[in-house]
Amino acid sequence: MNDLVDVQRHGRVLVVAMRREAKRNAINRAMADALDDAFNVMEDDDDIWAGVLTGTETVFSAGSDLTANGDYVTERGGEYGLVRRVRRKPLVAAVEGPAFGGGLELVLACDLVVASTAAWFGLPEVGIGVVPTCGALFRAPRGFPANLARQLVLTGDPIPAQRAYEAGFVNVLCPPGYAGDEGLALATRVTRNAPVALQACMEAMNGLATSEDAAGWTATVAATSRVRESEDGREGVRAFLEKRAPAWTGR
């Protein structure tokens, strides 16, 4: 799609790889548009029956590029071109290295997860005085046991792939360097099944989740608005960009 996102077809599977490694695959406007284009192809091409989303060998994604100031929303896919997308086809996340913040929210927007033992999952937003805005506040408790989801959100501390696998969030755990291959293998396994049946199952499962998501998005907007109006929220982002420790006031 551009030099930020690589797209390749492997039989019935579309592999979408984020390639902004110098910025830890943080997503800005250009990258969101490229991801959106790729997932449009995945949904609209009848010859594609499943997809894989991956990063590089060292990082999946650090989520939002803070310098983008929230400008990474697309008309069809929402945040990052994926987070609010209505999909009929299964999507596998293949994770090497950290999937932090919006990076974990990208994984939560997928249907199956493959991770290498070098992968980490985390939601560090509270550490800079903000909240997860791309679905984690309601999707994390669905993907992880509730108390583990709360731990991720409230401490900001990441967990290793082994812990996520033991918790049932990761479907396939593999050695470092093999997440892409294993993700493609899992997606290819899915495409051995009848596409009409796959899409019917996806629509049924996603339909149930969508009905719950409406309340989740409302709660997320309320939390985000509260933080944006706070002194701590502004201080946290400033401190992050200035590479210093924040001085919290509780206001």
Q: Which of 104, 106, 109, 111 has its CA nearest to residue 89?
A: 111
Alpha-carbon dihedral sign for residues 44, 47, 50, 54:
negative
Distance CA 151, CA 168 (A): 16
Q: Which of 43, 105, 203, 231 is catalytic?
A: 105
Q: Which of 43, 79, 125, 182 is catalytic?
A: 125
166 is catalytic: no
203 is catalytic: no
Active site residues: 105, 125
